[in-house]
A and B are shown apart, each in its own frame.
Chain A
């Protein structure tokens, strides 16, 4: 908030006052390591990291959670998330998570994957982990672009969207259609929960956090595989400011990838 806004809201921002615990409106979850992140300004990853670790803290499962980082921008997730983690080969996070979960069935296991990792090179591992009903959580960051390799077309790039490998806009005739993998996976009996969320607004951040919490609770009850898809942004490779990119999420991405639950467990 700007100083002007703070003054309007009558919050006393003197140094002495702001340090009083009762006035605390935000703090970093203790489960998120206090280190500078490498993510670009405005990127959704840092927000998702934060709410994920808030959920881990609130559920008190930090010592029982093992995460799997992918290849992609979030390859270094293990530098930030203060839980035991493994870094998987490109696309193989769900296979790695399967190996972990099967030998540690009472622990919480999640993967954190981008669209290229999950829905292009890792499609087989994703679909088969889902079909086996592995009791894991997939956190799927869908921003329709390859971020780490600086902006190539992803399996989820929407028609007409410009990337470095679809410089004239994605042409579905020659480059195929965007893969709505959440809807595809919802068909599988091994999957208990598929939801599509976003972190472009404060309201969406809160809803997304609730979805992550639901997923961990379903995992505890061993209901099957959960996936929280998060429609996110990529200001750097979309060549937009953070504000513009969030507007693009709202106006272009979400209409194509509508938010909400795609599948929920039958037994609540």
Chain B
């Protein structure tokens, strides 16, 4: 059993980062995730000697990540929606150069400067690439403080396994709320991961390494693209994570990710109490998406209600997955408004019953 604590989401995220043996964090303050940088400033360097820089911008931060990740180090950054937008160019380079790194988006309402309240409007940006070119991030969507902590450890492992940027897509509510959390023990920082590609100085008896995303020859660039796509296919086969609740006898499925999935759990209970056979599927990985799982259940049910705190983004992936084999409807609130369990049930009854 690990150490148990009552912690705020953002602070637990920072604590998990330290415990995961992270070598460097580069970030910039933005509400509602500034506690990450503040917590690290108090704790990180003193405890593990990890590098910490409050960068001049998110643009600089993500490029510091590129540099340090290129040296084979375990690195992370965090931000919230507008800041994540600024990082997109760097993420495209990181994905193309195949550098492992972890980032967290504590999603707030948009578009524009928007609001500091929690939202899920960055789903498309997170799972469809976000920056220029054909690439994906591996996206993990926690719905609790505990899962945020667990996903930090998992996120680093997946980033290093696939040499890819991994994003934890959280939101302002999970970042700000306090919950009981069980922490994993402190892991040692690894002095030298010994990756053959890391730029740590040309080996005395080896070839020099270079990290780049520039391949002028189209055939070479296509080859790089094929390699990336093969990697994403492997993720699709091996890394899909989801949680299914009461689906065996379900006639209708609610689906949601992150914060809203917890609200929908209550809706399932309320529905069941009224004799409605509701079940629930919660994708924990948004890319790769549990496409197969939705495809399998679609012919057995009467419909799916997808609930999100946006105008309907994940619902597109649900519809692609079920290929018209069941009815898919959407309910959402935007701009930082959080729906209630009753409100969702009422919408469900009005739509399906």
Residues of A near any B CB (own CB < 8 A) = 62-66, 68-69, 75-76, 78, 82-89, 92, 95-100, 102-104, 107, 124-125, 128, 132
Report the Cα distance A66→B64, complex, angstroms. Answer: 14
Interface size bracket, B side: 35 or more
Minimum CB–CB distance for B174 against chain A, Å: 28
The list of the 5 closest CB pairs from A to B, nearest first, reads A99-B67, A95-B63, A99-B64, A96-B67, A99-B68
Q: Which chain A residues border B208 with CB–CB below 8 Å?
A: 82-85
How far does the alpha carbon of A92 sit from the alpha carbon of B70 in the complex, in Å?
Answer: 14
A66 to B75, CA, bound (A): 18
Inter-chain CA distance A75–B61, complex, in Å, is 21
CB atoms of A98 and B53 under 8 A apart: yes
Annotate B207-248 by CB proximity to A: 1 below 8 A, 0 otherwise: 011111110000000000000000000000000000000000
Q: Could you tell me the distance between the alpha carbons of A135 and B40 in the complex, rounded to whole angstroms?
A: 23
Further pairs besides A63-B203, A92-B60, A99-B69: 8, Cβ < 8 Å: A66-B71, A78-B212, A86-B199, A95-B61, A99-B63, A100-B71, A107-B201, A125-B59
- Take A87-B214, A125-B56 as given contacts and tell me if A95 and B200 are in contact as well, using a CB distance cutoff of 8 Å: no
Q: Is B93 an interface residue (CB 8 A)?
A: yes
A85 to B199, CA, bound (A): 6
Q: Specify which chain B residues have a CB less than 8 angstroms from the CB of A78 in the assembled complex.
A: 210, 212
Nearest to B65 among chain A residues (CB) is: A99
Which of B61, B66, B67, B71: most chain A CB closer than 10 A? B67
Residues of B within 8 A of A125 (CB): 56, 59-60, 63
Q: What is the minimal beta-carbon distance from B63 to any residue of chain A, in angstroms? A: 4
The interface bits of chain B over 88-130 (1 if a CB of A lies within 8 angstroms of the residue's CB, else 0) are 0110010001000000000000000000000000000000000
Contact A99 B201 (CB under 8 A): no
Q: Is the CB of A102 within 8 A of B210?
A: no
The answer to whether B202 touches A62 (Cβ under 8 A) is yes
- Complex Cα–Cα for A40 and B3 (A): 63
Given A68-B67, A86-B211, A89-B89, A95-B60 contact (CB < 8 Å): yes
Cβ-neighbour of A66 out of B56, B201, B204, B214 (below 8 A): B201
From known contacts A100-B71, A102-B24, A128-B56, infer whether A95 and B64 are also in contact, taking CB-CB under 8 Å: yes
Q: Judge whether B68 and A84 touch: CB under 8 Å.
A: no
**A85 in contact with B210 given A63-B203, A124-B56 (CB within 8 Å):** yes
Tell whether A83 pairs with B202 under 8 Å between CB atoms, given A92-B90, A102-B24, A103-B24: yes
Q: What are 19 sample pairs from A and B whose C-beta atoms fall under 8 A apart?
A: A65-B201, A65-B202, A66-B200, A84-B199, A84-B208, A85-B210, A87-B210, A89-B63, A92-B66, A95-B60, A97-B67, A99-B75, A100-B199, A102-B51, A103-B23, A103-B51, A103-B68, A107-B201, A132-B53
Residue B73 at the chain A interface, CB threshold 8 Å: yes
Does the CB pair A84–B57 fall under 8 Å? no
Contact assessment for B213 and A92 in the assembled complex, using a CB-CB cutoff below 8 Å: no
Chain A residues, Cβ within 8 Å of B73: 103
In angstroms, Cα B67 to Cα A89, docked, is 11
Contact A75 to B214, CB < 8 A, known contacts A95-B67, A100-B70: yes
Specify which of A84, A98, A103, A107 is in contact with B209 (CB 8 Å cutoff). A84
The answer to whether A87 touches B213 (Cβ under 8 A) is yes
Contact in complex: B64, A63 (CB < 8 Å) = no
Tell me whether A87 and B57 are in contact (CB under 8 A): no
Write out the residue numbers on chain B whose beta carbons fall within 8 Å of the beta carbon of A98.
Answer: 53, 60, 64, 67
Contact of B200 among A82, A84, A97 (CB under 8 A): A84
Find chain A residues with CB under 8 A from B210 CB.
78, 84-87
Residue of A nearest to B199 (CB): A84
Interface string of B72-96 (1 = CB under 8 A from A): 0101000000000000011001000
B26 at the interface (CB under 8 A from A): yes
Q: A100-B199, A103-B23, A107-B201 are in contact. Are A87 and B63 (CB under 8 A)?
A: no
| Contact A124–B60 (Cβ < 8 Å) | yes
